[in-house]
């Protein structure tokens, strides 16, 4: 059971931040809505903010949290590049425009990638990469041991993860300054592709492995902790008053920044090392278990 002493100070918890995939969500991308409704009500009663922190887009995160509109949930989307609440945009960390030509040049020379360009306005998929995306989809279902759905369309599949995605034929059609490039690659190509990006990208651009076959390119220094820092300044909260949950390498900075970092059982050793607690599985509602215990202690 969590205790206040696990925090790095005696200050009360003021914020809970949760990663989504592999942490808050089950593997089927759902969560116990009724149970969370009770928890969110209790968090609000104690003046504790609930923050969703993910590599997903703001639009996708709002879809996951459908039914909880106007409940003061805050969203750190795009791995920290975009922060918003129900009222709209709070902070944006986009690419430096002078870096974009080099990024485009590198990506044009790496045909193994499916590419989605994300801005604060929308998401855009390159038409000339749709066959590549189809191969990645086949690889995804093969590795998962699942049958490939019939008549699957790569654009429709991408739109499941990037709602409102628009087809473009060139980068010139992107509206707004990119805040993230989401790259998809086959499972077997992921390590080499990540290494190549780290060698060739400008030092001002960082590749983050954020999920199965996905690499997010964000501005250097931008990560989920960036979003938490934005919120600390806005809400006058200290890092010691934050409890953060995660399971992937793109959660490393967030769990290091928070007063209490909580890693999932399947997290990497590196993530567990920077965390104060390790809990169970996302499929068993471990995050909800932790929050209920924390709230029971506050009510006790």
What is the residue extent of each domain of the chain? 6-92+223-299, 97-219
What would the pLDDT profile of 126-148 be if each residue is shown by its tens digit?
888 877 877 777 777 777 778 87
Band the pLDDT of 208: cuts 50, 70, 90. Answer: confident
Please, what is the average pLDDT of the chain? Answer: 91
Which of 3.30.70.1380, 2.160.10.10, 3.30.1240.10, 3.40.640.10 would CATH assign to domain 97-219?
Answer: 3.30.1240.10
Instruction: Note the pLDDT of residue 10.
Output: 59
Does the global pTM surpass 0.85? yes
CA distance linking residue 85 with residue 83, whole number of Å = 7
Q: Where are the beta strands (DSSP E) in the chain?
A: 15-18, 49-53, 74-77, 82-85, 88-92, 114-119, 123-126, 166-168, 178-184, 205-211, 214-219, 242-246, 260-263, 277-278
* CATH C-level class of 6-92+223-299: alpha beta
pLDDT tens profile 84-106: 998 899 999 999 999 999 999 99
């Amino acid at each position: 059971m969590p205790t206040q002493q696990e925090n790095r100070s005696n200050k009360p918890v003021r914020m809970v931040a949760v990663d989504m995939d592999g942490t808050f969500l089950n593997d089927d991308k759902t969560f116990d809505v009724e149970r969370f409704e009770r928890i969110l009500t209790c968090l609000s009663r104690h003046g504790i903010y609930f923050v969703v922190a993910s590599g997903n887009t703001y639009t996708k995160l709002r879809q996951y949290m459908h039914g909880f509109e106007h409940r003061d949930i805050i969203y750190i989307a795009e791995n920290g590049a975009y922060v918003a609440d129900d009222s709209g945009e709070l902070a944006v960390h986009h690419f430096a425009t002078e870096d974009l030509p080099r990024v485009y040049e590198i990506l044009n020379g790496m045909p193994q990638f499916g590419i989605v360009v994300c801005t604060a306005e929308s998401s855009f998929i390159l038409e000339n990469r749709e066959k590549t995306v189809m191969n990645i989809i086949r690889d995804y279902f093969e590795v998962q041991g699942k049958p490939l759905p019939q008549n699957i369309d790569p654009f429709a599949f991408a739109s499941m993860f990037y709602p409102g995605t628009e087809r473009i034929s060139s980068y010139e059609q992107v509206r707004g300054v990119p805040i993230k490039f989401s790259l998809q690659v086959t499972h077997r190509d992921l390590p080499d592709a990540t290494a190549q990006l780290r060698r060739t990208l400008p030092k001002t651009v960082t590749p983050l492995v954020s999920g199965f076959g996905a690499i997010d390119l964000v501005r250097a220094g931008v990560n989920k902790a960036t979003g938490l820092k934005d919120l600390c300044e806005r809400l006058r909260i200290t890092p010691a008053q934050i409890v953060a949950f995660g399971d992937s390498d793109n959660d490393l900075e967030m769990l290091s920044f928070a007063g209490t970092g909580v890693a999932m059982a399947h997290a990497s050793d590196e993530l567990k090392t920077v965390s104060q607690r390790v809990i169970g599985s996302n499929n068993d509602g471990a995050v909800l278990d932790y929050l209920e215990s924390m709230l029971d202690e506050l009510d006790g």
